[in-house]
């Protein structure tokens, strides 16, 4: 289908402006009558999940990722339940794109477009949905590099699944972020703060940077990292933080404060931005 082209075109426009567009977390009406179609091509969905044409999933313009929707073919009364994990469709006369497998639970693929009734079967809490959307966009943002390991080798032998990349990838999949259990780390998991993730994403409008830690690392349970409220940055615009002259660090930290961070400091090897 043409969905992938529309997504790429939209992304190109955003890249040119330096802005990041977030889909609305507004829930659709309890019941929505519209037309449905299907798509069977793609590699990765807008939520960050790999595209699986055999999964019971779908694309919707505004429903939060993770929402379960009951789709009824109003011509024959057949019903399928799908989970929203992508954005679309982009044709004005359609409201939901099903995977081919989900579509064929309702009608033969040869029908192409069918009239349906949508009913929300399982909504997603707004805060959780916001974190998933933001995390998916952080993963897709080329100006942000998320560390896949820790500075302390104790966290990587074996890998503890709590790297900055792991934290964001888990959040994009609707899972809590893991915390490290070496040093002062107490292990377990934590939900990443949408405000913190938004602050991280916003910095990419002005900087290319590397994130060294989020919820992982040797941080005690009361530390803002362990609470899912902070991130550390160890490089700005291709330069290690410790080698910068000060102006870039100040501008980066001022940006964190403007986004509501209440714990902002330069710690020699990295910049720390934390939210309350």
**Tally of domains in the chain:** 2
The yes-or-no verdict on residue 6 having pLDDT over 50 is: no
Distance of CA 189 to the CA centre of its chain: 17
What is the share, in percent, of the chain residues with pLDDT greater than 70?
A: 86
- For β-strands 96-99 and 31-39, DSSP reports them as parallel
Percent of the chain whose predicted confidence (pLDDT) is above 90? 50
What pLDDT score does 245 carry? 63
Q: State residue 11's pLDDT score.
A: 34
pLDDT value of residue 127: 60
Q: In terms of domains, do 155 and 258 share one?
A: yes
> What pLDDT is stored for residue 153 in this prediction?
80
pLDDT bucket at 27, cuts 50 / 70 / 90: very low
Give the residue numbers spanning the domain of 84: 3-124
143 and 243 in a common domain: yes
Do 111 and 145 lie in one domain? The reply is: no
Exposed / middle / buried, residue 238 (Cβ in 10 Å: 0-12, 13-18, 19+) = exposed
190 preceded by a cis bond (ω within 30 of 0): no
pLDDT at 9: 35
Same-domain pairing of 25 and 74: yes
Residues 141, 92, single domain; the answer is no
Of the candidates 69, 95, 124, which is a domain's last residue?
Answer: 124
Q: Are residues 155 and 267 in the same domain?
A: yes
* Higher pLDDT pick, 9 / 234: 234
Of 80, 98, 124, which marks where a domain is finished? 124
The CATH number of whichever domain residue 43 belongs to comes to 2.40.40.10
Is the same domain home to 267 and 140?
Answer: yes
Which tokens in the block code for residue 57? 């999933």
Task: Return the residue matching tokens 């001022």.
Answer: 254
The structure's pTM equals 0.57
142 shares its domain with 269: yes
Question: Residues near 29 by Cβ (< 8 Å), separated by ≥ 6?
Answer: none
Whole-angstrom Cα distance, residue 57 to residue 115? 18
Q: What is the pLDDT of residues 212-264, one digit of tens each?
A: 999 999 888 789 999 999 999 999 999 998 766 678 888 999 999 999 999 99
Using CA atoms, how far residue 75 sits from 69, 89, 106, 111, 202, in Å, is: 18, 21, 10, 12, 46
In this model, does residue 194 exceed pLDDT 80? yes
Q: Is the pLDDT of residue 189 over 50?
A: yes
Q: Are residues 113 and 160 in the same domain?
A: no
Of 124, 153, 173, the one marking the end of a domain is: 124
Q: How far apart are CA 225 and CA 188, in angstroms?
A: 13
How many CB atoms neighbour CB 81 within 10 A?
A: 15
Domain check: are 185 and 255 in the same one? yes
The pLDDT tens digits for 145-188 are: 999 998 888 877 788 999 999 999 999 988 899 999 888 888 89
Note the pLDDT tens digit of each residue in 42-83. Answer: 877 887 778 889 999 999 988 887 888 999 999 999 999 998
**pLDDT for 268:** 80
Q: Are residues 141 and 254 in the same domain?
A: yes
Average pLDDT over residues 4-18: 33
Binned at pLDDT 50, 70 and 90, residue 40 comes out as confident
Same domain, 153 and 270: yes
Residue with tokens 């960050």: 48
Q: How confident is the model at residue 124 (pLDDT cuts 50, 70, 90)?
A: low
């Amino acid at each position: 289908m043409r969905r992938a082209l529309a997504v790429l075109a939209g992304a190109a426009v955003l890249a040119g402006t330096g802005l990041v567009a977030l889909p609305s977390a507004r829930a659709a009406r309890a019941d929505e009558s519209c037309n449905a179609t299907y798509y069977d091509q793609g590699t990765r969905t807008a939520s960050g999940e790999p595209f699986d044409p055999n999964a019971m999933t779908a694309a919707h313009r505004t429903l939060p990722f993770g929402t379960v929707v009951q789709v009824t073919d109003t011509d024959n009364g057949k019903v399928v339940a799908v989970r929203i994990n992508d954005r679309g469709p982009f044709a004005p006369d359609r409201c939901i794109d099903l995977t081919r497998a989900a579509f064929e639970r309702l009608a033969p693929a040869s029908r192409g477009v069918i009239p349906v009734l949508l009913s929300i079967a399982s909504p997603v809490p707004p805060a959780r949905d916001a974190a998933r959307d933001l995390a998916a966009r952080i993963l897709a943002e080329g100006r942000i590099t998320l560390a896949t390991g820790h500075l302390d080798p104790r966290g990587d032998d074996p890998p503890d699944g709590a790297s900055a990349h792991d934290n964001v990838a888990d959040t994009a999949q609707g899972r809590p972020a893991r915390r490290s259990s070496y040093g002062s780390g107490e292990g377990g998991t934590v939900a990443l703060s949408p405000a913190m993730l938004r602050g991280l994403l916003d910095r990419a409008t002005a900087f290319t940077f590397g994130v060294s830690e989020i919820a992982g690392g040797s941080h005690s349970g009361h530390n803002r990292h362990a609470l899912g409220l902070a991130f550390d940055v160890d490089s700005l615009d291709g330069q290690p933080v410790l080698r910068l002259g000060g102006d870039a660090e100040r501008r980066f930290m001022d940006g964190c404060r403007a986004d509501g961070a209440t714990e902002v400091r330069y710690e020699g090897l990295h910049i720390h931005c934390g939210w309350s």
